[in-house]
């Protein structure tokens, strides 16, 4: 009963039905093409509460929650059956931590911004007779199918365990974790340990979220993910994946309103918060002990100050409205590492050297808050050279602290050394370290030819430079998965699973889905954070 149906480890599945995009009917009254049936909730037996299920054609509905984040429960009529959902897509950005990584896990402040590299998740709903869910995570070679009816719904639906879409979940339930484990046994079999870990982490996050948010009546579906964010490079790839999973599952159970252009910011904020809460649960599955900064930025986008003092409460998130356009170089060591391992290292250091470690973490906190004051200062723009030099000094100091916490790596130090020799800016590692990426803030007077020479050196030593813009949009939705971009295809260009799978590399993905560094096509909609904290 606990055996998965099959595992193909990246090979195409044999059942072609599961690959075909079904013929869709868009709910007739859906607002902006998006689902508005936003009050579904599942009772302890996994049944949909009939009084809380509104009709998809009621396009005038607004947010399903009140200001306090609690669901309204008006009496609603219920339709006998709902049409099959169309294929749709969601997307979420990676992030760069500008200041405060690691310290943020220990309750200190961090500054982070969305990057323009993103993950994209395509969801195809299967017809009623297909009782399977397939996770097709192309980048990490995961292609696994579970029989929905064989999943451990009993325990996830127990009244004492059952969580609702609006709940704040701050820890994983050990019994629920244990119940998922037999269903992960077949994942990554025969793969190298490193690949297996990537696959099991992603599959675990998916299963825990699917079992928490879905029900035994959930429709079969194929979830295909591709990302332009390098995996495990400190750019929040896991959080971006978790935000995609969370938003797709919440959309499928019709508990999100919008996004639509005239959505009040407070209502958009409620949806972002809901997505973010469940993305955090996914992050806990992958990392064990995340601060939540990555998923917060992946969900809401832009640039924020983040602090989580009490893990039982939502974090303090302050949008940085005047976040400057920084001249940054983002360079990947190509040295793989795991966030969990690096985070554990700092916990161990804190145990063995509590006083010194605490003072380093406090120093990082001071660096982050000083940086916040600097970018909030109205004079930042008026004397950019001075401001950038001050910010640069803080970057150098932050990196020094991270080195003393033991989370740098010789390859990261090599990047710093090359930049220092060229004397063109200030460098720090970004993310968990131990490999992954470094950011360099370029001096305003850095000569173009010197930067070009440096980039050549990077490439000759096996480093990769990424082009990215900081501070872009958070989670977005393309519902249905059709781009209205003036193509010849009637009604727009449909992105089906096959096209998505076959897109050639990051450029091919961005070209196909129309969201990325260079272009934006009609159809995608984004929840926009409220301007004030």
Ligand X SMILES: Nc1ncnc2c1ncn2[C@@H]1O[C@H](COP(=O)(O)OP(=O)(O)O)[C@@H](O)[C@H]1O
Active site residues: 294
Alpha-carbon span 66 to 372, nearest angstrom: 32
Dist. CA 156–CA 531, nearest whole Å: 37
Q: Which stretch binds ligand PMV (CB under 6 A): 358-366, 429-437, 447-455, 485-493?
A: 429-437
Residue 472 contact, options ligand PMV, ligand X, none, Cβ 5-8 Å cut-off depending on partner type: none
**Segment near ligand PMV (CB under 6 A); pick from 50-58, 100-108, 159-167, 353-361:** 100-108
- Pick what 291 binds: ligand PMV, ligand X, none; C-beta below 5 to 8 Å, kind-dependent: ligand PMV
Single out the segment in contact with ligand PMV by CB under 6 A; choices: 56-64, 201-209, 285-293, 485-493: 285-293
Q: Which does 116 bind (CB under 5 to 8 A by kind): ligand PMV, ligand X, none?
A: none
CB of 122 to ligand X, least distance (A): 13
Cα dihedral 43/48/51/56 (nearest 10): 150
Instruction: Pick one of 218, 227, 246, 497: the residue that binds ligand X (CB under 6 A).
Output: 227
Candidate list 34, 40, 241, 243; residue touching ligand X; CB under 6 A: 241
The residue (of 16 and 171) whose beta carbon lies closer to ligand PMV is 171
In whole angstroms, how close is the CB of 343 to ligand X at the nearest point? 9
Say how many residues make up the chain: 533
Interatomic CA distance for residues 223 and 210, integer angstroms = 11
Q: In this chain, which of 102, 122, 198, 274 binds ligand X, going by CB under 6 A?
A: 198
Q: Site residues for ligand PMV, window 230-249 (CB under 6 A)? A: 234-236
Q: How distant, in Å, are the alpha carbons of 128, 193, 195, 197 from that of 337?
A: 42, 13, 12, 12
Nearer of residues 343 and 513 to ligand PMV, judged by Cβ: 343
Q: Tell me whether residue 253 or residue 432 sits nearer to ligand PMV (CB atom).
A: 432
Smallest distance from the beta carbon of 148 to ligand PMV, in angstroms? 31
Q: Tell which positions 268-327 bind ligand X, by CB under 6 A.
A: 286-287
Task: Decide: is 71 part of the binding site for ligand PMV (CB under 6 A).
Answer: no
Residue of 33, 64, 232, 258 interacting with ligand X (CB under 6 A):
232
8 A C-beta contact, residue 226 and residue 495 = no
- Answer whether 89's CB lies under 8 Å from 122's CB: yes
- Asked if 101 interacts with ligand PMV (CB under 6 A), we say yes
For residue 524 the two structure tokens come to 């995608």
Backbone angles phi, psi at 74, to 5 degrees: -75, 155
Please name the residues in contact with 467: beta carbons below 8 A apart, sequence gap of 6 or more. 330, 517
Q: What is the CA radius of gyration of the chain?
A: 23
What is the helix (H) or strand (E) element at residue 505, kind and residue range? helix 505-513
CA-based nearest residue to 481, from 493, 473, 469: 493
By CB under 6 A, the residues from 6 to 25 that bind ligand X are none
Residues 119-158 that bind ligand X (CB under 6 A): 137, 139-140
> Dihedral of CA 432/343/389/422: which sign?
negative
Q: Name the segment binding ligand X (CB under 6 A); options: 228-236, 265-273, 475-483, 504-512.
A: 228-236
Residues 434-473, mask of contacts with ligand PMV (x by CB under 6 A): --x-------------------------------------
Residue 198, classified by CB atoms within 10 Å of its CB into exposed (0-12), middle (13-18) or buried (19+), is buried
Do residues 207 and 25 touch, judged by C-beta distance below 8 A? no
Q: What does 231 interact with, of ligand X, ligand PMV, none (CB < 5 to 8 A by kind)? A: ligand X
Helix (H, G, I), strand (E, B) or coil at 204: helix
Give, to the nearest 10 degrees, the angle between helix 339-352 and helix 354-376.
120
Span from 20-28, 59-67, 71-79, 194-202 in contact with ligand X (CB under 6 A): 194-202
Interface mask (CB under 6 A) for ligand PMV, residues 292-331, using x and -? -xx-------------------------------------
**Which CB, 235 or 419, lies closer to ligand PMV?**
235
Examine residue 4 and tell whether it contacts ligand X (CB under 6 A).
Answer: no
Tokens of 61: 């509905």
- Give CA–CA dist 132/123, Å, rounded: 13
Q: In sequence order, what are the residues at sequence separation of 6 or more whose Cβ sits closer than 8 angstroms to the Cβ of residue 313?
A: none
Tokens, residue 416: 């710093």
Which DSSP symbol is given to 281? H
Shortest distance, CB of residue 69 to ligand PMV, whole angstroms? 23
> Count residues contacting ligand PMV (CB under 6 A)?
17
Give the C-alpha separation, 86 to 415, whole Å: 46
Q: Which stretch binds ligand PMV (CB under 6 A): 85-93, 243-251, 287-295, 327-335?
A: 287-295
> 108 near 176, Cβ under 8 Å?
no
State which of residues 431, 476, 514, 523 lies at the interface with ligand PMV (CB under 6 A): 431
Q: What are phi and psi of 363, to 5 degrees?
A: -65, -40
Please tell me what DSSP assigns to residue 23: P
| Position of minimal CB gap to ligand PMV | 431
**Binding interface with ligand PMV (CB under 6 A):** 97, 101-102, 104-105, 234-236, 290-291, 293-294, 339, 343, 431-432, 436
**Binding interface with ligand X (CB under 6 A):** 137, 139-140, 197-198, 201-202, 225, 227, 231-239, 241, 286-287, 338-339, 431-432
């Amino acid at each position: 009963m606990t055996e998965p149906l099959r595992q193909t480890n990246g090979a195409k599945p044999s059942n072609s039905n599961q690959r075909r995009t079904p013929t869709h009917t868009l709910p007739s009254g859906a607002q902006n093409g998006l689902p508005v049936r936003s009050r579904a909730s599942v009772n302890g037996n996994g049944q949909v509460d009939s009084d809380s299920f509104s009709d998809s054609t009621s396009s005038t509905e607004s947010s399903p929650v009140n200001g306090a984040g609690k669901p309204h429960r008006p009496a609603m009529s219920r339709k006998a059956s709902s049409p099959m959902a169309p294929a749709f897509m969601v997307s979420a950005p990676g992030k760069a931590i500008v200041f405060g990584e690691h310290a943020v896990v220990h309750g200190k402040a961090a500054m982070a911004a969305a990057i323009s590299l993103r993950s994209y998740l395509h969801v195809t709903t299967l017809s009623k007779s297909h009782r399977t869910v397939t996770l097709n995570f192309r980048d990490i070679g995961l292609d696994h199918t579970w029989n929905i009816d064989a999943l451990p719904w009993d325990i996830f639906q127990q009244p004492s365990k059952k969580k609702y879409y609006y709940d704040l979940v701050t820890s994983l339930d050990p019994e629920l974790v244990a119940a998922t484990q037999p269903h992960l046994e077949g994942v990554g079999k025969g793969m190298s340990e490193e690949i297996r870990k990537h696959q099991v982490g992603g599959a675990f996050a998916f299963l825990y979220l699917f079992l928490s948010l879905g029900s035994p009546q959930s429709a079969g579906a194929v979830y295909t993910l591709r990302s332009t964010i390098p995996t495990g490079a400190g750019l929040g790839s896991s959080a971006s994946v978790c935000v995609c999973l969370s938003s797709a599952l919440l959309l499928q159970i019709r508990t999100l309103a919008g996004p639509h252009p005239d959505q009040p910011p407070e209502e958009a904020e409620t949806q972002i918060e809901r997505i973010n809460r469940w993305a955090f649960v996914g992050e806990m599955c992958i990392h064990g002990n995340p601060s939540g900064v990555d998923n917060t930025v992946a969900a809401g986008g832009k640039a924020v100050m983040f602090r989580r003092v009490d893990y039982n409460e939502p974090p303090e998130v302050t949008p940085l409205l005047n976040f400057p356009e920084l001249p940054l170089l983002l360079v990947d060591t190509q040295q793989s590492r795991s966030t969990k391992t690096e985070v554990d290292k700092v916990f161990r250091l804190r145990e063995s050297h509590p006083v010194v470690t605490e003072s380093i973490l406090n120093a990082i906190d001071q660096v982050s808050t000083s940086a916040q004051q600097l970018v909030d200062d109205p004079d930042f723009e008026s004397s950019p050279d001075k401001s950038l030099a001050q910010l640069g000094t803080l970057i150098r100091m932050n990196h020094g602290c991270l080195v003393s916490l033991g989370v740098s790596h010789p390859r990261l130090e090599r990047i710093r050394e090359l930049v220092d020799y060229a004397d063109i800016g200030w460098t720090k590692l970004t993310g968990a370290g131990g490999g992954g990426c470094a950011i360099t803030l370029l001096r305003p007077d850095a000569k173009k030819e010197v930067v070009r020479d440096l980039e050549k050196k990077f490439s000759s030593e096996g480093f990769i430079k990424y082009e990215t813009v900081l501070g872009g949009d958070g989670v977005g939705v393309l519902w249905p998965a059709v781009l209205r971009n003036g193509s010849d295809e009637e009604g727009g260009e449909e992105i089906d699973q096959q096209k998505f799978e076959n897109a050639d590399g990051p450029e091919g993905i961005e070209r196909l889905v129309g969201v990325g560094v260079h272009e934006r096509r009609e159809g995608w909609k984004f929840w926009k954070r409220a301007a004030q904290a």
